[in-house]
Amino acid sequence: MPAFLVQKWPLLETLQLSLNVIEDEAISDLVNADLSCLLSLTLRRISADISQLASANWQLLQTLDLSQHYRSLSTADISALSGGQWPQLRCLHLVGAGVGAANAACLVRGQWPQLEILNLSRTYIDEACMTALVTGDWPVLNRLSIVRSHVTSIAVSVLLKRGWATLERLDMPTKHVLPEIWEVYPKLLGGASLKPGLNQLDSRQGHAAFQSRLVQLKELNFCDGWQAFSDTHVLF
């Protein structure tokens, strides 16, 4: 595995290393490789220490996918990643990576000037986690996915009441969400009637109420996530 990384790849734009046996040494080689044109890096389902990625000089990197890490990412991992210098990063996928309240707080301390898509699906999102996310500095973030997550009703309340000025698309869970969430949705959406499994609100009144708190929202999806995830495609 490390052998090919010591080669020069000055024009390489996309690198997919998912489901490989990658040791910490290989991550170090990856960071030090000549990948000056790298735009997209996918490292799904690996067990190596990914905190080393923060020292990589990938000025053009736009997409980073660290989904379904074989061990949940630690606070130290997230802190390191948040310190990475990736000024062009637009998409960050951390599906099933164990991003809870402490990690969310670390995540928002990073500099994400161009980040547009944040995928935190398959995690547990409580009030503290959502509060950290909605108060973070995401100047252009317009899409948040938390499908197949356990989202508490209080977390939903935080999102809707505090709003997210730039958010245009929100992917929320349905039957994989905690049961009590169905009690809070209608109240926060102006009395709209919601049905699990549907991807739209039943009343325009409810949709208007939602938009009043998320003023830029253009697309709202309620899905159970099984259609959005598979062994070969774990994004959205």
How much is the mean pLDDT over the chain? 77
Q: Could you give the CA distance from residue 97 to residue 71 in angstroms, rounded to a whole number?
A: 8
Burial category of 204 from C-beta neighbours within 10 Å (exposed 0-12, middle 13-18, buried 19 and up) = exposed
Position 206 scores a pLDDT of 45
Q: Could you give the CA distance from residue 158 to residue 80 in angstroms, rounded to a whole number?
A: 27
Q: Could you give the CA distance from residue 56 to residue 58 in angstroms, rounded to a whole number?
A: 6
Do the beta carbons of residue 138 and residue 112 sit within 8 Å?
Answer: yes
- Look-up: residue for tokens 């080393």? 52
Per-residue pLDDT of 170-217, as tens digits, reads 888 875 455 555 555 555 544 444 444 444 444 444 444 455 567 788
Residue type, 229: F
Please give the average per-residue pLDDT across 108-127, as a whole number.
91
| Residue 150, strand partner residues | 124
Q: Could you give the CA distance from residue 143 to residue 148 in angstroms, rounded to a whole number?
A: 16
Query: Which range (25-34, 81-90, 113-122, 174-183) has the least confidence?
Result: 174-183
Residue type, 171: D
Position 41 scores a pLDDT of 94
Please name the residue ranges forming H helices in the chain: 2-5, 24-32, 75-82, 101-107, 127-134, 153-162, 181-188, 204-213
Q: Any idea of the CA torsion for 217, 162, 119, 153, to the nearest 10 degrees?
A: -110
Do the beta carbons of residue 127 and residue 135 sit within 8 Å?
Answer: no
**What token pair was written down for 23?**
């040791």
Per-residue pLDDT of 145-157, as tens digits, reads 998 888 887 888 8
